[in-house]
Structure formats: C-alpha cells, structure tokens
Amino acid sequence: MLSKRIIPCLDVRAGRTTKGIQFKDNIDIGDPVEMARHYYEEGADEIVFYDITASSDKRDIMIDVVRRVAEEIFIPFSVGGGIRTVEDMRAVLLAGAEKVSVNTAAIQNPSIIPEGAKAFGSQCIVLGMDVKKVEKSAKIPSGYEMVIHGGRTYMGIDALWWAKEAENLGAGEICLNSIDADGTQDGYELTLTSLISEAVNIPVIASGGAGNPEHLYDVLSAGNADAALIASMVHYGYYRIKDIKSYLSEKGVKVRLNW
Amino acid sequence: MIAIIDYKAGNLTSVERAVRKLGYPCKVTNKAGDIKNAERIIFPGVGAAGQAMADLKALGLDNLIREAFLGGKPILGICLGTQIILEYSEENDTTCLGLVPGRVRLFPQPLMEGDTRLKIPHMGWNRMKIVRPHPVFSGVEAGSEFYFVHSYYPVPVDDSYIVGLTGYGLEFASAVAYKNLVALQCHPEKSGRVGLKVLDNFCRWDGYAQ
C-alpha cells in the first residue's frame, strides 16, 4: 500500500522563499535550497516549489534554484508557477524537477496538458487547481468554482468538471488548493477534497489550511487525499515533519517512517 | 567509470546527480566506446517500452548492453530500464532485451486493496520486503520505502530471481537480481537516503550474487 505523502510547499519569489496569507502580504522566510535540504532530512516525501516571481525576466533565477535543489535532495519535487508552454516544462524538468504543475495556463490553454503528457509522460504533469466555494448553479453544479489571480478572478468553470476533464486530457496528479482555506491554518477544505478525490482516478494532493497535525489526519482519512501540502506549520517551526508523521502513524495512517 | 545509458528515455540527469553525489565518476552516454570501457552500467528510463526498444535498436545499444551483460559487467536497471531487461512487455506488445527470463505486465483493472480501488500508475512511496539477501541491498533496513512511478510490473519466470517484493493490490517483484544484473522497479535516485544506499552498494558491487 502506498504511504500518504507529506509535502512541504515553498513559495519562491525571485529566488527567496516567501509566505503570504491568501496570496497577499508576502514576507521573506529563507533560502529555498537550504529549506528544501532541511525538509528532505526531516522526512518530507516530496517538495513543491511554487514560483510567484511576478516578471518573466526573473525566471532564470527559478531554474537556477531548481538546479541547486536537485543536487541536494534525492526525493521527487515539483515546480509550478508561470509555466505556459512545453518548453517551459522542459526547462524545469531538465534542471532536475520530477514534475511540473500547470494552473492558470491549463485553464487558458487546456492543450498544454496533453502536449506535456505526450512529451514527458502523465506522471510529470500536475494540474494545480485554485478553487473557491460559491452558490451551486446551473453553471457551477458542484458549488466549487475555478479561480485565478489568487482568487480575484472567477473563471465560470466548475471545479469538479475541470478535475475530470484534466484527468481525461492526461494530467497525472491534481494539487487541489482551497482559496477559502489557504493561509487560515483552520484546516483543509474536506468536502472539496473528498469530492474531487472520489471523482478522479489520479492522486489528489490537498492544499490550503493546514495548521496542525490533526488537520492532516482529517484530510488524509475523511478527505480521501493521497497527500497533504503543508507550509506555515513547518516553515515557522511550530511542527516538525517527523512529529507530524509519528502522530499520523499512531492514528493508523500509513506514512513513510524510515528515511 | 560508470556508464549511464542515454537513449532519450528521460530521467537521466537525476540518476547522474545521485551517482555524482555519492562520489563516483559517471557519464551519461550512448557511445559504444564508453559502454565497452565502463566498469559498470546503469540502465535507467522513463517512458514507454515500445519507443524505448526502438530507440535502443536505432542506436545499436541493444547489442552493446547484451554484450556487457554476457561479459559479466555489473548492470543496474531502473524502472523502464528494468522492464526492458526482461523478455517481453505487454506495453506496446514489445519484445525486449531478454537478459532476464520473464515478462512485464500491466496492473489489472480494477486493482483493489480491500474495498479501496487503487489508482494507476502506482505512484509514491511503498515498502519493499527483502526476500533474499543480496550485496546491493546490504544495510537496507526492513520496512524501508522506495519511490515508485509505473503502470507495468516485472514478472520474472523464476521466483528465485526476486530480491524485493512490494504490495499494491497484488504482490510484485520490485527488485530482481540475476547473475551480474540487478533490476529495480523503483527509483533509487528519488528514494532518499535508502535509495542512495542501494546505488552506493551497486557502485561497489563486483557483480557476483553473494
């Protein structure tokens, strides 16, 4: 049986790790390469980097970060943010990332999913989804809508439909972020997570809202997630990955304990 | 020097980085001279069996790898490299190198574990139960987990070739050893400290089974 994965997420802006609340007020919290190595040693199962660099001319900085990370850590890691073409994907994968994630670009141009899957294999292509809870309607029957720009722009696309569509197009995994829960540390959006996870046959990484180990237990059991993304709770040293894993293991969740 | 076989099938840089990190000279190559002169060979790969075999043949690498194997050189297969080492793969109905007697099968659908329908590919961390001692697995603790990404799995004809077993709906051979060859379905280069240990063991292994 697969272990449930615990995945620290590093938001990187111009080569530095930052942390914001609901995509606003970012503050510098460290060197991404150093942080990645630390989490690798602490038992992270995977690491996610999200490049929030505003201008495209700073993209080379991210490629350099990816290259340096790949020399230090020997677990899978993915890179998202600003990836718009198959060539962007290739650059990140060649620099040493295991997977790339596409979010806004996939909504605007869904063909990037099959193109990426054909070029590199579905296992490389992660669909990032930013989702907000809305009133159920004819257009948004699940009551969860796709959003971009950190939640400021509603896309008129049903999240449940989009998850299934992306799977059909060749996405190998979904990283599902609840904009409502993101940065709150009040727990993951369990209803959304189980809704999507049960509808697709590819792994779902739950994102947004982790504040304590119980939140991870909830999303990995009731929420049916295959993996849980964490940020603030480990970035600020409130919890350590190995303690989170011990807690989950005691509660009967299968996690990787030897590393 | 360790030759890491380059046949366009991806994921070569991560294997190279891991081997370098361990301090062994290595080269990603598809040149006959390099492969003949190499003291050992790593045969990685990500992708589909049909295309991989076609690329290997086009580059003349199929015969070079076969010669290296028959000459007793230590060879490590990883993921698709492992599958290609067997005789036949159900993926694209492909005749493979046939260095190890056996076949490669697709995980059956639906793949169940109790009441749970398992997702395919098998992607993530899973345990490997070591069923017989082998120098390449020396020092690997019981219950260690490795990183996997695959939809097909190796089925060697003889159970005595199996070194490691992993459960995912069914139990499959996640590590196979046959003569001077070790073949892993997992990715040691992405399996953290324990994966590096296996790579390190391979880089020191003389090619004899015990």
When pLDDT is cut at 50, 70 and 90, the band that residue B76 belongs to is very high
pLDDT at A139: 97
Once rounded to an integer, what is the mean pLDDT over residues B117-138? 94
Q: Report the relative pairing of strands A5-13 and A227-230 from DSSP bridges.
A: parallel
Per-residue pLDDT for A20 more than 80?
Answer: no
Choice between A259 and A190, residue whose per-residue pLDDT is larger: A190
Once rounded to an integer, what is the mean pLDDT over residues B146-174? 97
Per-residue pLDDT for A44 more than 70?
Answer: yes
Catalytic annotation present for A11 = yes
User: B interface mutation test: which of A2, A40, A79 has the most B CBs within 10 A?
Assistant: A2
When pLDDT is cut at 50, 70 and 90, the band that residue B209 belongs to is confident
Return the active site residues of B.
79, 187, 189
Per-residue pLDDT for A22 more than 60?
Answer: no
Whether B12 has its CB under 8 Å from any CB of chain A: the answer is no
- Percent of chain B scored above 70 by pLDDT? 98
Q: pLDDT (tens digit, 9 = 90+) per residue, B14-55?
A: 999 999 999 999 999 999 999 999 999 999 987 789 988 999
Q: pLDDT (tens digit, 9 = 90+) per residue, B89-109?
A: 999 999 999 999 999 999 999
Structure tokens at A43: 């038992």
Interface touch B126/A2, C-beta < 8 Å: yes
> ipTM higher than 0.85?
yes
Mean pLDDT for chain B?
94
Per-residue pLDDT for A227 more than 70?
Answer: yes
Once rounded to an integer, what is the mean pLDDT over residues A115-123? 89
When pLDDT is cut at 50, 70 and 90, the band that residue B142 belongs to is confident
Mean pLDDT for chain A?
93
pLDDT at A200: 95
Whether A55 has its CB under 8 Å from any CB of chain B: the answer is no
Distance from CA of B75 to the nearest CA of A (A): 21
Choice between B117 and A249, residue whose per-residue pLDDT is larger: A249
When pLDDT is cut at 50, 70 and 90, the band that residue A126 belongs to is very high
pLDDT at A169: 98
- The 3-class secondary structure across chain A, one letter per residue, is CCCCEEEEEEEEECCEEEEEECCEEEEEEECHHHHHHHHHHHCCCCEEEEECCCCHHHHHHHHHHHHHHHHHCCCCEEEECCCCCHHHHHHHHHCCCCEEEECHHHHHCCCHHHHHHHHHCHHHEEEEEEEEECCCCCCCCCCEEEEEHHHCEEEEEEHHHHHHHHHHHCCCEEEEEECCCCCCCCCCCHHHHHHHHHHCCCCEEEECCCCCHHHHHHHHCCCCCCEEEECHHHHCCCCCHHHHHHHHHHCCCCCCCCC
pLDDT at A55: 63
Q: Chain A partners of B147 at a C-beta cutoff of 8 Å?
A: 75-76
Interface touch B190/A98, C-beta < 8 Å: yes
Q: What is the spatial order of strands in the sheet that B129-130 belongs to? A: B26-29, B2-5, B40-43, B75-78, B181-184, B170-178, B162-168, B129-130
pLDDT at A21: 57
